[in-house]
């Protein structure tokens, strides 16, 4: 089942009794949980009685099954959400596997896996195929759309231009960019709930703004020395490594998108409208994309994702980012 179909089923209240949501973005999994919660329990008073959120490592398979088998009280069903279920081994999960073969029809069991399980993981066989939902990583304009929607849910209004600028400057790590929206709102005053380009620039800061554009230009020129100098300045100024990685990932993704557009016969003007960048920047990006093979452009983007996994697993930021920049600037 794809994610839009899952959301439609939730809105209709016709979800199957067992679901697995998996994907690399924890915030999107939490969005899915919030969507299901609102759909099943429009009355907030029922949510406390009818919803449980469990950590698989803490309660184990037996605890999950006990909660799932509990009958609802004052509502038609119960919602049991379980984070980190992919961490359970097949042996540890035996009671849960048995439950999934014959689930309680009055419970919606929502399993959340922030790390995609391996191809041989027990989850793929235990959860019915119709209940497995992939939550894809957002890219490009999808991040801007999500950011505006998520900000609105938190009572903030951010214009399209401001959201696009924020993603351009900060990167597309969802937790980071959402946090920057909240900071930008405060920059407009304690009671301010609207974020414009002015507030975004106030939060990002002119010095950081120049450094980001310098890094972008150095990558476009494959100027390794300049790119590493800017990297050192950003990290030395306290820039979050994942924020820097977001910039590098955005550039690698743009190169790949331009390469694909060229392969499909798109003109430079069409590519410029797609990128929404000044003509000199578009020209530099087209020149860079033309110098790379499709496989090389794809590999650069894959390298960014590999570095993201290593940083989130405790990897040393400066060496990882230095090697990545060297790869992105290589001929």
* pLDDT, tens digit (0-9, with 9 covering 90-100), for 269-289: 778 777 666 677 778 788 888
Stretch among 184-188, 254-258, 308-312 having the lowest mean pLDDT: 184-188
Q: What is the pLDDT of residues 58-112, one digit of tens each?
A: 999 999 999 999 999 888 899 999 999 999 999 999 999 999 999 999 999 999 9
Residues in the chain: 331
Look at residue 177 and tell me whether its pLDDT is greater than 70. Answer: yes
Tell me, letter by letter, the H, E, C secondary structure of the chain: CCHHHHHHHHHHCCCCCEEEEECCCHHHHHHHHHHHHHHHCCCHHHHHHHEEEEEHHHHHHHHHHHHHHCCCCCCCCEEEEEECHHHCCCCCCHHHHHHHHCCCCCEEEEEEECCCCCCCCCHHHHCCHHHEEECCCCCCHHHHHHHHHHHHHCCCEECHHHHHHHHHHHCCCHHHHHHHHHHHHHHCCCCCCEECHHHHHHHHCHHHHHHHHHHHHHHHHCCHHHHHHHHHHHHHCCCCHHHHHHHHHHHHHHHHHHHHHHHCCCCHHHHHHHHCCCHHHHHHHHHHHHCCCHHHHHHHHHHHHHHHHHHHCCCCHHHHHHHHHHHHHCC
Ranking 45-54, 182-191, 273-282 by mean pLDDT, the lowest is 273-282
Task: Show the domains of the chain with their CATH numbers.
Answer: 3-134 (3.40.50.300), 138-204 (1.10.8.60), 205-331 (1.20.272.10)
Percent of the chain surpassing pLDDT 70 = 96
Residue 131 reports pLDDT greater than 90? yes
Tokens of 36: 């299901």
pTM above 0.85, yes or no: no
């Amino acid at each position: 089942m794809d994610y839009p179909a899952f959301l439609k089923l939730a809105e209709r209240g016709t979800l199957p009794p067992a679901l697995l949501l998996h994907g690399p973005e924890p915030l999107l999994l939490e969005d899915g949980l919030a969507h299901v919660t609102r759909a099943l329990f429009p009355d907030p008073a029922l949510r406390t009685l009818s919803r449980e959120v469990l950590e698989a490592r803490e309660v184990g398979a037996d605890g999950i099954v006990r909660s799932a088998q509990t009958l609802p009280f004052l509502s038609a069903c119960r919602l049991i959400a379980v984070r980190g279920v992919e961490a359970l081994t097949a042996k540890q999960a035996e009671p849960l596997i048995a439950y999934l073969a014959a689930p309680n029809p009055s419970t919606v069991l929502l399993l959340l896996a922030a790390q995609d399980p391996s191809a041989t993981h027990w989850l793929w066989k235990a959860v019915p195929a119709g209940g497995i939902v992939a939550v894809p990583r957002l890219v490009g304009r999808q991040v801007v759309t999500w950011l505006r929607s998520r900000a609105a849910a938190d009572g903030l209004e951010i214009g399209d231009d401001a959201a696009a600028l924020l993603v351009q400057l900060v990167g597309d790590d969802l937790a980071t960019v959402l946090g920057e929206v909240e900071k930008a709102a405060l920059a407009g005053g304690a009671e301010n709930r609207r974020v414009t380009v002015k507030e975004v620039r106030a939060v990002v800061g002119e010095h950081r703004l120049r450094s980001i554009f310098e890094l972008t230009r150095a990558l476009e020129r494959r100027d390794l020395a300049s790119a590493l100098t800017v990297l050192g300045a950003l990290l030395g100024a306290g820039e979050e490594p994942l924020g820097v990685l977001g910039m590098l990932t955005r550039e690698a993704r743009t190169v790949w998108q331009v390469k694909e557009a060229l392969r499909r016969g798109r003109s430079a003007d069409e590519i410029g409208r797609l990128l929404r960048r000044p003509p000199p920047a578009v020209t530099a990006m087209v020149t860079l994309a033309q110098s790379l093979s499709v496989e090389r452009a794809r590999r650069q983007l894959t390298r960014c994702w590999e570095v993201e996994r290593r940083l989130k697993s405790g990897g040393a930021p400066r060496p990882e980012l230095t090697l990545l920049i060297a790869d992105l600037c290589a001929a």
